[in-house]
Structure 1
């Protein structure tokens, strides 16, 4: 028979205790899972799943704490091991407590369906549960760390000295942790006063989106283009924002369209109520529909406002787009002259128009395209400086007698450049 020495006992006994603890854990887990499958309720399935890993660490720690008192070790070693595994026990219990908080939150949230059409109460409950769950996580963590620290004797001495200077330390910590304290307090206030809820549709700093998460320090807003805005909770109380689904998601959509003043408003209302709204594909809920001239612009156009209600802000936005598209389409088909158009009349230089016409008649366009210089750069041989007694008839005769095609404008341009085309200056 093999005799186990005391040194080996100090190693093998704790290892055996850990293995036995894991075997017990596996048996308990498999038994609990089998029992949970026999019931129709999801609570026991969640209980087994949330307990799996905390118990996986908790059972071996308890087994070692039991066995180290049975083995022959020195008192100093025993104290150090006992203190180390007590810390591990505290952390394992904190882990298990956090998972039980998750289990309670999951069970309560499951009873409230946020996918329902009228989900205001469900969103209130989900928001409160999410905030309080994170606050509980924080309290459990603080208590666990405090218990771990005070397992060491020197921590009690440090704690006594801290209590003696609690006033000064409180001021220092308050200044240093002001943002954290503000956001933590804000999360608690949000859970109570509920200015925002999960899945609320809000406009913050001009950005439209939905509240995707309410955390202990910040909120997450999912914008319409799938971006995420991280906003500190303290900012929610320091600045204003729009909440489009505060008490009810029902919303009235507004669309403005501009038409000519002579457009028949009776026909516009008929188009709106009989052709536009019925073809919205269920976006319009049938409660509110209105069409009115709300203003006349400085350009003389009518500003026509179309109102239509929808079940939620998202459908209201799509309905507004539908109204604009269909109204402009129907009015453009029936009254095309009523659509807003910006007309710009461009008046060409008469000399340029005359020059272009004569160039086309004389074939100079082909000459210029063949690689010669532009027409304005062609030498004007018939150009002469004007005498005081020169008349327009004289200028016309000079232009007509020119050996190369030339117009009155070219004559004046040549004089302005000082190009007489081989002529003589003087009177």
Structure 2
């Protein structure tokens, strides 16, 4: 690569090297002063804003922009100094795409942080979960694309591996389908992550049920989704599973659900007093939201009847607590007021049986 800028019989000249070094120092000094002036004004303007968003953006882009200004200063100085240009130009071919990629990556991060900051002021939890989900998936996709393209552009500067850079950039499109069966799961997960971000079958914070397990969605990646169960287990579920298989979303629009408490009682049970006590207790409970209240005999078996007590609460967690309280109270009330309603296994001996009177 250096043969582009140096003749074949080139030898190091101390005067040229000293000249290039002085030019670098001058360029860095002037560029740093320009950086201080520019960001001094930007910081003052950001502090005049009513929110912290502007300060957040300025602080996030400070480092990559500083190094970019320094590199720009050296590049401008190299245009007027052949000795510096001969040294700087080979290095600049790596530095320029790296700095551009760094700036783009930081801007995406700053934009994500800004949107998250503004979402904290939202009063609608459903809308906030929806925006967080889209933001998480799309920002990760953008960051991956930026890193991918930056590495490809850096490879372009090496003549011997330009073909590698071309292949790397081309594979970012539909040409990736040609890599064969080994890449199909990864590509499927990538498309699944984008589909989840657009269609939103679930969002970060939603309570979902996958097979026998239920939990809240903590993180949505391009290839997998993390779900935290009630017993603190962390499920790692491939994104394509949510696309290919059915699952339950218990908080798609809101967390208001209805739930039952099942009681299995003796067939001789008097249902009316139990229904009255259930309605009285549920109506006075602090977690009951008044939407669903019913007491129905759903099944009748030879030795028992099935009583379903349905109720509702504002959130899923409160519904679980409400069901536990109702179950405990109703069992206690039945034990104290209708003891015969509790199921017992009986063995009846006919009167007059020869062994009935034996000790």
- TM-score between the two structures when normalised by the length of structure 1: 0.69
The CA RMSD measured in Å over matched residues stands at: 3.1
| Corresponding residue to 2:237 among 231, 235, 246 | 231
The runs of 5 or more residues in structure 1 that have no matched partner are 164-168, 345-427
Residue 20 of structure 2 contacts residue 84 of structure 2 at CA under 8 Å; is this kept in 1? Answer: no
Alignment: residue pair count? 330
Cα distance, 1:339–1:149 mapped onto 2, change above 3 Å: same
Name 1:85's counterpart in structure 2: 92
Distance 2:23 2:346 in 1: 96
Name 2:300's counterpart in structure 1: 296
The CA deviation at 1:122 is 3.0
Name 1:271's counterpart in structure 2: 277
Cα distance, 1:339–1:56 mapped onto 2, change above 3 Å: farther
Alignment of 1:290-329 (within 5 A): 290-297=294-301, 300-329=303-332
- TM-score between the two structures when normalised by the length of structure 2: 0.80
Cα distance, 1:286–1:150 mapped onto 2, change above 3 Å: same
Cα distance, 1:324–1:154 mapped onto 2, change above 3 Å: same
Name 1:333's counterpart in structure 2: 336
| Counterpart check, 1:10 vs 2:14 | no
Alignment of 1:12-51 (within 5 A): 12-51=22-61
Cα distance, 1:297–1:288 mapped onto 2, change above 3 Å: same
Residue 252 of structure 1 contacts residue 307 of structure 1 at CA under 8 Å; is this kept in 2? Answer: yes
Distance 2:33 2:183 in 1: 46
Name 2:102's counterpart in structure 1: 95
The CA deviation at 1:232 is 1.4
The CA deviation at 1:74 is 8.4
Name 1:252's counterpart in structure 2: 258
The runs of 5 or more residues in structure 2 that have no matched partner are 1-13, 170-174, 348-359
| Counterpart check, 1:61 vs 2:71 | yes
| Corresponding residue to 1:261 among 258, 267, 270 | 267
Distance 1:343 1:24 in 2: 95
Residue 114 of structure 1 contacts residue 122 of structure 1 at CA under 8 Å; is this kept in 2? Answer: no
Q: Which has the larger radius of gyration?
A: 1
SS at match of 2:50: coil
SS at match of 2:328: helix
Higher RCO structure (Cα 8 Å, ≥6 apart): 2
Distance 2:322 2:185 in 1: 42
Residue 299 of structure 2 contacts residue 307 of structure 2 at CA under 8 Å; is this kept in 1? Answer: yes
Residue 296 of structure 2 contacts residue 308 of structure 2 at CA under 8 Å; is this kept in 1? Answer: yes
Name 1:371's counterpart in structure 2: none
| Counterpart check, 1:105 vs 2:112 | yes
Distance 1:226 1:278 in 2: 32
Alignment of 1:146-225 (within 5 A): 146-156=152-162, 172-225=178-231
Distance 2:166 2:259 in 1: 64
Q: Deviations over 1:303-351 (max 9, x none)?
A: 211111122322222221122112112222322343345689xxxxxxx
The CA deviation at 1:48 is 0.9
